[in-house]
Amino acid sequence: MKMLYEKYDFTTDTNYQQIIDNLNLPYNLDGIIIDEFNNIISDKLGLTPYHESDCFYE
């Protein structure tokens, strides 16, 4: 995922769906890519990364 960090400017204005579409990866990898985006953005902006275990389901 380092290549993504180097190739794209991750900001709040970035079109993340367009990046996913440009990668042209199988649909089942979208979740992994989204998790990596989360990690990259969290690192860049100094935020606490989101973890699925932090969610509450009814």
1-38 tens-digit pLDDT = 567 777 777 777 888 888 888 888 888 888 888 888 88
What global pTM score does this model have? Answer: 0.59
Is residue 32 in a domain? yes
Give how many domains the chain has, as a whole number: 1
- Please determine, for residue 44, whether its predicted confidence score (pLDDT) is greater than 60: yes
Q: How far is CA 48 from CA 16, 17, 21, 31, 45, in A?
A: 19, 22, 26, 19, 9
The pair of three-digit structure tokens given for residue 33, joined into one six-digit string: 């890519």
Q: How many angstroms separate the CA atoms of 8 and 1, rounded?
A: 11
Is residue 52 in a domain? no
Per the structure, the complete domain to which residue 18 belongs is given by 2-47
Is residue 30 in a domain? yes
DSSP3 helix / strand / coil % (the chain, rounded to 5): 60, 0, 40
- Please determine, for residue 56, whether its predicted confidence score (pLDDT) is greater than 60: no
The predicted structure's pLDDT at residue 13:
80
The predicted structure's pLDDT at residue 52:
58
User: How confident is the model over 29-57, as a mean pLDDT?
Assistant: 73
